[in-house]
Amino acid sequence: DIQMTQSPSTLSASIGDRVTITCRASQSINSWLAWYQQKPGKAPKFLIYKASTLESGVPSRFSGSGSGTEFTLTITSLQPDDFATYYCQQYDDYPLTFGGGTKVEIK
């Protein structure tokens, strides 16, 4: 199975900060990576697919990059609505697997 490792597990940041979250795959997944945002008590929200394609309606301050085994999610100017937990998920092979999550907290 493909293991997905996110770092950091928790990130403290302020409004307006640039934030970067890393997701590493245990083997190459090409660009088959998705990113989600989840707030407490809510279902996840689809942000990015194929590593760098923004889902419709997602603000442009979110971006994704990477291929192979290393990927990043960047928020260029953190907004109050962005404090949440972020997950990556690989779509290269079954069983599909998620990263452990990165909680973005207010500094």
Partner 1 sequence: EVQLLESGGGLVQPGGSLRLSCEASGFTFRNYAMSWVRQATGKGLEWVSGTSGNGRSTYYADSVEGRFTISRDNSKNKLYLQMHSLRAEDTAVYYCAKEACSSTNCYGVDYWGQGTLVTVSS
What three-state secondary structure class fits 85? strand
Contacts of residue 43, defined as CB under 8 A and 6 or more positions apart, other chains included, come to none
Q: Is residue 94 near partner 1 by the rule CB under 8 A?
A: yes
d(CA 52, CA 72): 9
> Site residues for partner 1, window 48-67 (CB under 8 A)?
49-50, 55
d(CA 85, CA 62): 14
Q: Out of 23, 37, 82, 97, name the contact with partner 1 by CB under 8 A.
A: 97
CB of 44 to partner 1, least distance (A): 6
Part of the chain binding partner 1 (CB under 8 A), chosen from 12-20, 34-42, 66-74, 76-84: 34-42
Per-residue tokens: 37 = 């945002």
List interacting residues with partner 1 (CB under 8 A): 1, 32, 34, 36, 38, 43-44, 46, 49-50, 55, 87, 89, 91, 94-101
